[in-house]
Amino acid sequence: MTVSVLDVLDHPAGFGPFFAGPSWDRWRAVLKAAFALPMSRRDLRLFKEVAGDRKPPKRPVRELVCCIGRGGGKDSIASALATYIATNSDFSRLRPGERGSVLCLANGRQQAGIAFRYILGYFEHVPRLAGLMARPPTNQRLELTNGAEIIIGTNSHRMPRGLTLACSIYDECATWRSEESVSPDFEVDAAVTPGLARFPGSLKIIISSVYTKTGLLYDKYRTYFGKSDDETLVVLGTTRQFNQNFDSKIIERELEKDYEVAAAEYLSIWRTDVSAFLSREAIAACVVPGRRELPPLPGVRYFCFVDPSGGSADSMTMAIAHKSGDVAILDCIRERRPPFSPEAVVAEFCTLMKAYRLHSCVGDRWGGEFCREPFRKLGIAYNLSDRPASEIYRDSIASINSGKVEILDLSRLTNQLAALERRVARSGHESISHPAGGHDDVANAAMGALLLVTSGPQPMKFSQAGLAMI
């Protein structure tokens, strides 16, 4: 690139007005290091403070990993880099009809929309860029006259396939979640790599606040932070290190409220109060490959657990299980995603229960009598479980880790189980639940049914006597 990223950031007719002032100096130092640009003594000091005292790379890196606190300017820099690479890379060697893509992946449509508005803002406010738009942007995709395109999408491993990537940006990848994948960050990265390999001088940018000591972001940090590698540069810094204008009183107040949460958000300290509840290996060992459902068998005692919903936000789920020897076996799962009619779903669930010769089920306390009555009208007793989802998960772990359960080969089930997090509050209280923005409706029903099988009716107290044995 004949025009450097710093030329664009500093030029008054470029991005200069958006990155004015000393609060952006540390970002400038990091970018100079990443693109192997000349650095002053001050630049070196600012860089080494957040790079583990390593030496700057000798050539432009292939991976730039930024672990930065909330409010540290990540979205601004990521969108500026996406725009710079899309407008200054050499796309002349592309085949007819081929485009060089700058792909920005975010955790959900809302976050993706924020990134797109940032990028679109540069094209709307920088006169030189406005003439590069080949046509008005559509579906968070911007096509340029130089053969480039900027695509904003969610963290799906399907999105990068077939693209020739000049740059790929992973926005807030430490908290990526997906109902389709156990580890979306690693799977997306595997799908992106071939696209980057097709474009000379391509750049991968991973930019996120920190979370737990798992996942792609932590793996890059653990492997490369502080090491003088010319291919990968990792920096880690607090909100205030990268944005001196951020109000320190807000950080202090948040630290007093919940130190572990705020320390990760603003101080870039990896969280130790949150950990994965189940290992992927333990879950995989319980999955019976290719088994999607088992039909009802004569002479078998079945157990059913229901996770109800009002039909507007969460899924309504049901699971049926039985025991064979000392192994608990999951027979079937039903999930109905919103929007739906609760009455219609209850009727469907009751019909399936009766096919397994069940006249009662157990479910959580959501909705109280309002939830129980529709089941009762259809001849199914809905017994209230005394255990919330967190305790169901806690009491299921021994059976899972010992391999004494068989679960169905369903991606939504295994992905939800793998995403469960164990949290320890300052009081010492432990809870197990889905991550923020995630779901565990399928996992809750499945583990509830399996726990009924393994523990029987004695440990769990129901509002009605026992479970029907047919």
- pLDDT tens across 270-296, in order? 998 888 888 888 999 999 999 999 999
Domains of the chain: 5-272 (3.40.50.300), 280-455 (3.30.420.240)
- pLDDT tens across 115-152, in order? 889 999 999 889 889 889 998 888 889 999 999 999 99
Give the integer Cα–Cα distance in Å for 429 and 112: 35
| Burial of 230: CB neighbours in 10 Å, binned 0-12, 13-18, 19+ | middle
- At residue 95, what is the residue type? R
Q: Which own/partner pairs from 254-259 qualify as long-range (CB within 8 Å, at least 24 positions apart)? A: 258/426, 259/426
Contact present, 149 and 99 (Cβ < 8 Å) = yes
Single out the residue of 160, 161, 165 nearest to residue 149, CA to CA. Answer: 165
Contact present, 30 and 235 (Cβ < 8 Å) = yes
Q: Give the pLDDT of residue 456.
A: 61
Return the minimum-mean-pLDDT range out of 86-100, 105-119, 262-276, 312-326: 105-119
Give the integer Cα–Cα distance in Å for 170 and 392: 34
DSSP string, 53-117: TPPPPSS--SEEEEEE-TTSSHHHHHHHHHHHHHHHS--TTSPTT--EEEEEEESSHHHHHHHHH
Is residue 461 scored above 50 in pLDDT?
no
| Mean pLDDT of the 27-41 span | 97
Stated pTM of the model: 0.76
- pLDDT tens across 236-253, in order? 999 999 999 999 999 999
Q: Give the pLDDT of residue 354.
A: 97
Return the minimum-mean-pLDDT range out of 93-97, 272-276, 449-453: 272-276
| Mean pLDDT of the 364-388 span | 85
Contact present, 306 and 382 (Cβ < 8 Å) = yes
Task: Identify the helix (H) or strand (E) that includes residue 275.
Answer: strand 274-276
